């Protein structure tokens, strides 16, 4: 797939994530995909396999009572890597998370095989999820 197709795949992923459509989201990931959740908090670390990644996404939703949104600012596509630039927003028990972040997606054969999160303030994100 080319850069435009990769960017469109990532855009579809954001739409599915933000609407809670885990079935569609799951179709975009390779079965053996890996996700690197930024930080050192309770949700941080390496998630191996599509099911583990989807469980992580579900946990983001449940821990924020469904308020977590990845508001896309831009998607920059390449042949193998595509970057999603976003504003991450969530609310939980009187706390608010509102940080700029980016995700580097590695794509092969029309599927996401790896995702790596980067936050402008990882400590703030870690504190929010505790």
Q: Which residues contact 45 (CB under 8 A, 6 or more apart)?
A: 36, 37
At 60, the pLDDT band (50, 70, 90 cuts) reads very high
Enter the tokens of residue 30.
């390779």
Output the pLDDT for position 23. Answer: 94
Which regions of the chain does DSSP assign to beta strands (E)? 29-37, 45-48, 69-77, 81-92, 95-108, 111-119
* Average pLDDT of the residues of the chain: 95
Enter the tokens of residue 117.
């999160």
Output the pLDDT for position 1. Answer: 75
**Tens-place pLDDT, residues 68-108:** 999 999 999 899 999 999 999 999 989 999 999 999 999 99
Domain 3-129 CATH assignment equals 3.40.50.1220: no
Count Cβ atoms below 10 Å from residue 53 Cβ, excluding itself: 21
Output the pLDDT for position 57. Answer: 96
pTM of the model: 0.94
Q: Is 28 helix (H, G, I), strand (E, B) or coil?
A: coil
């Amino acid at each position: 797939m080319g850069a435009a197709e990769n960017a469109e795949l990532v855009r579809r992923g954001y739409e599915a994530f933000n609407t809670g459509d885990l079935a569609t989201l799951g179709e975009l990931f390779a079965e053996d995909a890996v996700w690197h959740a930024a930080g050192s908090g309770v949700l941080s670390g390496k998630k191996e396999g599509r099911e583990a990644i989807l469980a992580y996404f579900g946990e983001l939703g449940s821990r924020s009572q469904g308020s977590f949104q990845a508001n896309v600012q831009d998607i920059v596509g390449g042949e193998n890597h595509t970057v999603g630039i976003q504003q991450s927003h969530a609310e939980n028990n009187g706390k608010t998370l509102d940080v700029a972040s980016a995700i580097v997606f590695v794509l092969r054969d029309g599927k996401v095989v790896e995702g790596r999160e980067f936050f402008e303030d990882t400590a703030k994100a870690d504190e929010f999820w505790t």
